């Protein structure tokens, strides 16, 4: 069977009903129709190289009920509630940190001695959440970019450009411009799980698909990927609370 040539692979977003859904659009030369795949990585759309985006998204809207149902089956896990108050515990790199809130002249958050110390001008729950999320995003970019650089070097790859995303339906994406985007919420997971996701995206630098060769490359970079993938799928809802 002839393999269709990949032209591009990019992350997109679409509103379906009341939901905003992130999806990977893979354009392939020689493909005739649109194909949809929903798995633990989220929604992947395979489409002809020259098909207009408006037509592709029209097909997605026609398939809205199926897409939403399938994503719901993967994500039908209760997301824990977060109460933005002093003493709340939050996940970070697989551990629990204690949120400490105090009024301050300016918004400032730092991590010290197992405490995430948030100094906020007006310590309302909404203001505390904004300050803490901003801290998580900064911490995520530093940690995830650092791991991508290190693991790429180990794998014999030129380190890609790394950016963080706010995607909730997938942990990472890689495009044909050698850009890797990683969800900032991933920084809540333990380091081994983070490394699995990073290796998964780095493997796309060699194989822009999910072929046998791709999974062999993932295993080469992360030998325990099967166990880690299953673990992340079982508990990832814990990291989507905020």
226-239 mean pLDDT: 89
Among the residues of 63-208, which ranges form H helices?
64-74, 125-154, 191-203
Residue 72, exposed/middle/buried by CB under 10 A (0-12, 13-18, 19+)? exposed
Q: Which pLDDT band, with edges at 50, 70 and 90, does 215 fall under?
A: very high
Instruction: Give me the torsion for CA of 9, 11, 16, 21, rounded to 10°.
Output: 130
pLDDT of residue 170: 86
User: How do the domains of the chain map onto residue ranges?
Assistant: 5-74, 89-239
pTM of this prediction? 0.75
**Tell me: domain 89-239, CATH 3.30.2010.10, correct?**
yes
pLDDT of residue 79: 72
Residue pair 92/188 in contact by the 8 Å Cβ criterion: yes
Can you tell me the distance from the alpha carbon of 71 to that of 158, in angstroms, rounded to the nearest whole number?
34
Q: What is the tens place of the pLDDT at every residue in 1-39?
A: 556 788 999 999 999 988 899 999 999 998 989 999 998
User: 111 has which bridge partners?
Assistant: 116
Arithmetic mean of pLDDT over the chain = 92
Q: Which residue has the tokens 């207009």?
A: 52
Which residues touch 80 (CB under 8 Å, ≥6 apart)? Answer: 238, 241
pLDDT of residue 78: 64
């Amino acid at each position: 069977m002839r393999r269709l040539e990949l032209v591009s692979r990019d992350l997109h977003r679409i509103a379906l009903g009341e939901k905003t859904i992130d999806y990977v659009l893979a354009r392939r030369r020689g493909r005739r129709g649109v194909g949809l795949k929903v798995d633990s990585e989220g929604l992947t759309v395979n489409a002809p190289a020259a098909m207009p985006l408006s037509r592709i998204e029209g097909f997605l809207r026609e398939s809205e009920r199926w897409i939403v149902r399938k994503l719901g089956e993967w994500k039908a896990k209760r997301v824990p509630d977060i109460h933005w108050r002093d003493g709340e515990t939050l996940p970070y790199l697989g551990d629990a940190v204690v949120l400490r809130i105090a009024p301050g002249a300016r918004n400032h958050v730092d991590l010290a001695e197992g405490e995430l110390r948030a100094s906020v001008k007006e310590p309302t729950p909404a203001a505390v959440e904004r300050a803490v999320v901003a801290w998580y995003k900064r911490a995520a970019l530093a940690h995830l970019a650092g791991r991508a650089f290190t693991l790429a070097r180990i794998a014999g790859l030129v380190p890609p450009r790394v950016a963080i995303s706010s995607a909730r339906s997938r942990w990472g994406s890689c495009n044909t411009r050698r850009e890797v985007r990683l969800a900032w919420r991933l920084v809540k997971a333990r380091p081994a799980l983070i490394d699995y996701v990073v290796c998964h995206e780095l493997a796309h630098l060699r194989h822009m698909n999910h072929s046998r060769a791709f999974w062999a490359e993932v295993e080469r970079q992360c030998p325990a990927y099967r166990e880690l993938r299953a673990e992340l799928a079982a508990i990832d809802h814990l990291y989507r609370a905020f």
